Amino acid sequence: MDPETEYLLPGGDRVWVLTTAEASKHLSNLLNLFRSGATEPLIFGDAGQPEGVVIPFEVWRALEAAATDEEGFDSSYSVLRHRLANPQPSIPIEEVADELGLDLSEPVDDSDLPKPQ
């Protein structure tokens, strides 16, 4: 088996997956790269399937903060709860989106929603 396998992601992008044994050989070199400012992840797994990723600690911290942004959720929920409790005339959806920090031009993944009959 090759120590590195190209893997096709669902969106069409490709990544290289190292075997776990090969990835372990590169950890100290990867740490040196991270210290120099590189942020390219090390993707590894067995049988050519990505199963783990090694990333710089600061990148992980940023991802963790973004994934657990409870304050942003609480703020949006509070606005919606207030509006439902105090009905007012309709306002344009663009104003609501701006207030909630949403980008209406961003595509929405609705693949998990039922299709109209």
Q: pLDDT tens, 58-84?
A: 888 877 776 666 666 666 667 777 777
- Closest Cα to residue 100, out of 70, 80, 83? 80
pLDDT for res 54: 95
Read off the pLDDT of each residue in 24-32 and give the average, rounded to a whole number: 94
Q: Tell whether the model's pLDDT for residue 112 goes beyond 70.
A: yes
Query: Does 117 fall in a domain?
Result: no
Query: Does 61 lie in the same domain as 73?
Result: no
CB 37 within 8 A of CB 58: no
Query: Does 49 fall in a domain?
Result: yes
Query: Does 109 fall in a domain?
Result: no
pLDDT for res 27: 94
Query: Does 61 lie in the same domain as 86?
Result: no
Read off the pLDDT of each residue in 31-51 and give the average, rounded to a whole number: 92
| Residue 94 vs residue 56, higher pLDDT | 56
CB 30 within 8 A of CB 54: yes
